[in-house]
Chains A and B, each alone.
Chain A
Amino acid sequence: MEEIKTGFGNHVVQYSAEYSFCAGCNSCEAICGLVHDAVVSPSYSRLFVKRGGTRDMVCHIVSCQHCLDHPCYESCPKQGEAMCIDENGIVYVDEEACIGCGKCVSACKFDPPRINMAKGEKKKFWKAKKCDLCRTRPEGPACVEYCPVRCLGLDTAAQGDVKDPEVTEKLVLNTSVGGVDFA
């Protein structure tokens, strides 16, 4: 992963297993699709439950880190129309204008990339699905609100400080309890 130059904005994080252990229910993915598109689909969720192996079964959540240098936004050929920045600095997708080129996905600094692609109404077009922190929901991020075990939170503390992309996520994941490693 390349170094992120300018740190991260507010973003959804998974808390440490010592605080609350992800139940692996996929509700966060489902809720994300529901509040944005009234569908449930692995192609529509803007965060991802990475299920552990068949023997491990520990789940990790990966989500958009809202990089302050937003390479996804920078790469968008329809910058300002499809990939936009709101008054709070949140990078979001206006799907009407999205041409489904996938450049944002390739530009995302993270592996796996934190932007999803779903086929749009007119089948030939794909649409980018990116976390917008539920910017139009007065209650805030729906995944955080509806995680049954409250293991998701909105990280507002690390912004601007942390430069290593590995670190923003590991901040909350490098924990070991009773000899079992959850990192």
Chain B
Amino acid sequence: MPNYTARDILDNPLNTLRLQGYVGKILRIKLTEQTTEIVSTYDYVPKYLGGRELCNKIFWDEVPAGTDCFDPGNKLIYMTGATTATGVPTGGRTEMTGIAANNLPTQYSFSGIGGWIGAEFKFAGYDGIIIEGKAPEHTYVVIDDDKVEFKSADELWGLKVHDTQKALIDMHGVDFKCMVIGPAGEHLVRNASITTSNDNVMAKSGFGAVFGSKNLKAIICRGTGVVPVADVKKVLELRLEMGSPFMRPSPVQPQDRQGLPGSDAKGEWVRGNISCSYGCNQHCNCLMMGTNSVFTDEKINHVEKCVSPFAYGFVTDVPNNMAANWMTKQNHMQPCKLLSREFPAPDPTDPYFEEINKPILPDVFDFWKPDFEKGNLINELCNEYGIDKWDMIIWILPWFAMGQKEGVFDDMDLGMPVDVESSEFVSAIIEQMVYRSSEMGNLLAEGMARATRALGKEKFADTIYHGRRSQMLPGSPQVDLPISMETAWGHSFHWQGRGFEASISKPTWLATTIELMTSSRDMQTIEHHHDQYEKYLEIVADPYNSQVLVDSIIMNEQKGEMKDSVTCCDWQSPDLWWTSMEAEMYAAATGYPMTEQELAQSADRSKLLYRAILIRNFNRDRDMEVGAVWPGICIPDSWGEVADWDGFNKLVDRYYETRGWDKATSWPYRETWEKYGLGDIADEMEQIGKLPLRP
């Protein structure tokens, strides 16, 4: 039975701390056996907060080294946070982890998603689910409160994302929320996404392909129970304070263009600002209404955010300013305010006002000209086939654009001319990738990093694109960029000083590079680097030897783990002048008196669990980490500057030392594991010879 009243949860004998916010159970879905089991959430919380920290703990406990992404032994662990469906703003964000299909080398990774299904799981009585094994045939899982059924997905297999969602609603009713894969996931395309309502996806780790490998087309859920909330008054306060000033009315607005200035395409549509997830207090997603569709003559609506505008035209990169990363008390705002166009009034009395607001001009790329209908087509194909828009818009299509201009495809026969300006080419190549129906499509389905290696890295990745021009240096000089766009772990650049979103200062790209280094995927979706401008001024003269920079990196990493575990949104956290915000959110939901320091400790524990998995299961060490990020920062930034080997290594030394990790190997010392209550991991590391002694 679901929890029909708060008392059901408080009187649960396993809930010895009488925690609210959580609902008490984790559902283990055993696809091979077609059975389920219940795991008690209270076996883990509050030590392992929920969200990603709890995923990390379960994965560490349950998945041994030697397991690969498409093995039935890979587990996808999906967790809500204690704040999910409690009215705490942005708590609707949820997390999935597992061995990812879309990184290189294959490693444990994670992906976040909004939507309404996380809340629905909690209403059904589950804080999360563990998906394991492999279904004997195409399957979808129906969770209706405490009833779970495994159903044949034969009728659904092959359907596109929205058709799958519609079929499920037609069969089961509108009250069911779903997570589904499209044809890309079915064909094990490595950047396949899992989609829930409002075109919300988990895309970065390619878990859609892992669903496909498990013969799992969809999970749907309906819940009628309750999530009890400890401190309603505080939740209401948080709703007013978080992301303040409170938003204005948000009328629908007819638009005549789409895309970033300089790359924008003319076209008619209607904009509605919408939220991405249950209980959010913002509306940073854009519902594009009344656009043409590739698949139907009727006008359609689709939800776009972040990278989608570049589908409409990609002439220049993203303009920036210092304030986006380094803010002052007088002038700071949450990024969600930017996307939803709810900017608070700037304060020009700020002594740093001019410095932090001075435009950092974007690089010019000239990848493709503005074209509204082609932009709609790219976004719709990604939404419908269930593929990562990031990979398509920021990586695969730019690679074709650069490679075409540099002539690398000249002696190749793709059965059609390579031409990213042509809708026919774009739609054909996406389709070939999704259905693996041509040699090139099949290669791209393995992800860009693998594809360029298979084709020949020297020519198909390292060839220099001569078209990138800096606007930050006089005369717009050429700043060479390899056509690969690849940074570490089989992902593409993201706010790293080169490639996409390149225009950031050197201290910032050093920070984002270290953040990427200890991860297994692009971290900029959860750790957009933020800190106080005064700190930047301390760092900038000598960033390689700056403890302030290292502390700033660790603070951003802590916030990243926190956001994914509490849970809350990267676009609203951190607030640098309200550092206890996340702890207050957690305490309001659960009633557990979490302090800022305890929460930071928990975030570090989450990072250590992640590290433990990377070290034990995927042989992570210093050489691997530095080797992964180093080639990227040898490419010039917008000012023509590259990283210095000795300087960078000094920064890495300082980072590892501050973390309590051995400099030579990057492995944590026993005292570090034990400080966070992870002595059992230290023992296991000792057994496998990965527990360094302090020199």
Contacts and interface: CB of A to CB of B under 8 A. Distances in A.
28 contacts: A17-B251, A19-B251, A23-B274, A23-B280, A23-B282, A24-B198, A25-B277, A25-B281, A26-B116, A30-B86, A37-B226, A39-B227, A40-B86, A40-B119, A41-B123, A53-B169, A54-B169, A57-B303, A58-B287, A58-B301, A123-B4, A148-B247, A148-B280, A149-B247, A149-B273, A178-B268, A179-B270, A179-B299
B278 interface: yes
Contacts of B254: 177-178
Given A121-B5, A149-B283, A55 B166 contact: yes
B467 interface: no
Contact of B281 (A27, A118, A179): A27
B252 A39 contact: no
Contact of B249 (A30, A35, A146, A149): A149
Interface in A143-183: 146, 148-151, 177-180, 182
B162 interface: yes
A97 interface: no
B224 interface: yes
A83 interface: no
Given A40-B86, A120-B5, A148-B281, A179 B290 contact: yes
A81 interface: no
Interface stretch (B74-82, B100-108, B232-240): B232-240
B319 interface: no
Given A42-B223, A43-B226, A179-B290, A27 B251 contact: no
A43 to B, nearest CB: 5
Interface in B272-325: 272-275, 277-283, 287, 289-290, 299-301, 303
A92 interface: no
Contacts of B227: 39-41
Interface in A6-33: 15, 17-21, 23-27, 30-31, 33
B226 A39 contact: yes
Max chain B Cβ within 10 angstroms of own Cβ: one of A17, A30, A150: A30
B398 interface: no
A24 B285 CA distance: 11
Given A38-B229, A56-B301, A149-B283, A30 B165 contact: no
B269 interface: yes
Nearest to A142: B236
Interface string B161-175: 010011001000011
Interface of A: 15, 17-21, 23-27, 30-31, 33-35, 37-44, 51, 53-58, 118-121, 123, 146, 148-151, 177-180, 182
Given A19-B251, A35-B232, A179-B299, 6 more contacts: A17-B272, A39-B229, A40-B229, A51-B174, A55-B162, A148-B275
A173 to B, nearest CB: 12
Given A25-B281, A54-B165, A41 B224 contact: yes
State the majority secondary structure of interface residues on A: loop
Contacts of B248: 149-150
Contacts of B270: 177-180
The CB with the most chain B CB atoms within 10 A, among A40, A42, A55, is that of A40
A27 to B, nearest CB: 6
A25 B275 contact: yes
A26 B197 CA distance: 13
B293 to A, nearest CB: 9
Given A25-B278, A119-B5, A121-B5, A151 B87 contact: no
B162 A54 contact: yes
A40 B247 CA distance: 23
A90 B490 CA distance: 61
A42 B278 CA distance: 12
Contacts of A58: 272, 287, 289, 301
Given A25-B280, A51-B197, A149 B250 contact: yes
Contacts of A30: 85-87, 278-279
Contacts of A33: 226
A148 B283 contact: yes
B380 to A, nearest CB: 11
Nearest to B289: A180
B279 A54 contact: no
B85 A23 contact: no
Contacts of B175: 42
A21 B275 contact: no
B668 interface: no
Interface string B195-211: 00111000000000000
A53 B4 CA distance: 28
Contacts of A24: 198, 274-275
Contacts of A149: 247-250, 273, 283
A47 to B, nearest CB: 15
Contact of B166 (A53, A150, A180): A53
Contacts of B128: none
Nearest to B277: A25
Nearest to B250: A149
A41 B279 CA distance: 12
B228 interface: yes
Given A38-B228, A41-B225, A146-B239, A57 B274 contact: yes
A42 B224 contact: yes
B89 to A, nearest CB: 8
A178 B278 contact: no
Contacts of B289: 58, 178, 180
Nearest to A44: B226
A54 B227 CA distance: 26
A34 B232 contact: yes
Contacts of B278: 25-26, 30
Contacts of B251: 17-21
Q: Ordered nearest first, which 7 A-B pairs have the shortest CB separation?
A: A178-B254, A20-B249, A119-B4, A25-B275, A23-B283, A41-B226, A54-B165
Contact of A57 (B4, B198, B252, B269): B198
A179 B6 CA distance: 46
A80 to B, nearest CB: 26
Contacts of B253: 177
Contacts of A34: 87, 229, 232, 235-236
B178 to A, nearest CB: 9
A16 B238 CA distance: 27
Given A30-B87, A39-B227, A180 B246 contact: no
Nearest to B298: A55
Nearest to B222: A42
Candidate in A19, A44, A178, A182 with the most chain B CB atoms within 10 angstroms: A178
Contacts of A25: 274-275, 277-281, 283
A9 B7 CA distance: 35
A54 B163 CA distance: 9
Contact of B273 (A23, A26, A182): A23
